[in-house]
Amino acid sequence: MSDARKVTEAITGAWRTRAIYEGTRAGLFDALDETPRTVEDLALLLGLDAPTCLRILRAIAVLGLCDQVSADAFVATPAGHMLRADASNSLRGMAMLWGDRIWRSLETLGDTLRTGEPGWGNGNFGAIHSDPAQSDIFNRAMAEQSVPIARALAQACDFSAYRNIIDVGGGYGAVLIEVLRANPEASGFVYDLGLIAAGAERYLNEADLGGRAGFRGGDFFSAVPEGSDCILLKYILHDWPDGDCRRILANIRAALAPGAAFLLLERILPERVGAQDEAVVRADLVMMPISGKERTEAEFRDMLGEAGFAVEAVKPLADGCWAIEARAV
């Protein structure tokens, strides 16, 4: 690929996000299956304008998310199936989050570049959770992205010595579910804002863990429940500036006895980035409007040391996530 083509692809990449988002929001992926459906049928079923529907379908077809089998008929593909609401490996929540809130938040990057101030601030989380529909989209998206990471975590780290695990800020519990599935002697609970309890309890009940997983409402800025021998924290610190991260870590340390385990799951910025680091750099840009950021291993080690933790290992998991294994000292 020529340099000009690479630059053009980078400049115009936003069309993919919009096509996927609008196709998902309209219900096209839910309506498509292995039997060819005509554009007219889809438009009538979903209340869409047929000529525009055709154009959106063409766009998602070239992305491999459906196949055009004739001039006016389309079928589903395995990749497109992942954007259905009922798919076991659904990424629908991610499509909805990126096409709406993340899309709008990125429009503020220019202001942040000039002033250093976040365009949305951490009020973004309050806005999300004040709207039940937006809160569900956000937490579904986080659960979707957590599954492969959690499965890798359960394989990479030894949980056999732990009996009571707390997933702090764990949303709908995807990480805790996979860890408990791999460790039948353990139990635990998600500790997150009480207003997401219904969604979290639904996910935890559907996991069918025999009552070993629960939910407890609370705010990790106020306190973290005591009594656990292992605390998990996934993709929370990157949402917050350094001062807030120190508050969170201090509360976690206060909840743990000396020798208890703390597993921090985060992306890690290399000291020097290259093309292979697109995922972590992309995440860093997404964090910018809400005053969060990705960090280097040295930055995490410094924060953990200040909070009273000793780092024992740093392990790669999946999708650019790392497990920083630490213990309370």
Enzyme catalytic residues:
238
Torsion, Cα of 103, 217, 159, 227 (10° steps):
150
Question: How far, in Å, are 168, 245, 316, 327, 329 from residue 157 at the CA level?
Answer: 18, 24, 11, 14, 20
Answer yes or no: are the C-beta atoms of 32 and 80 closer than 8 Å. Answer: yes
3-state secondary structure 231-252: EEEECCHHHCCHHHHHHHHHHH
- Residue that is written with structure tokens 């909805």 in the block: 96
* Spatial separation of the C-alpha atoms in residues 212 and 200, rounded to whole Å: 14
Long-range Cβ contact pairs of 158-165 (< 8 A, separation 24 or more): 159/183, 159/186, 159/230, 160/185, 161/229, 162/186, 162/229, 162/230, 162/261, 163/187, 163/229, 164/188, 164/227, 164/228, 164/229, 164/230, 165/228, 165/229, 165/230, 165/231, 165/232
- Residue that is written with structure tokens 């394989």 in the block: 155
Name the burial class of residue 301, with classes exposed (0-12), middle (13-18) and buried (19+) by CB atoms within 10 angstroms of its CB: middle
* Spatial separation of the C-alpha atoms in residues 139 and 119, rounded to whole Å: 22
Q: What count of Cα atoms within 13 Å lies in the side-chain half-sphere of residue 97?
A: 19
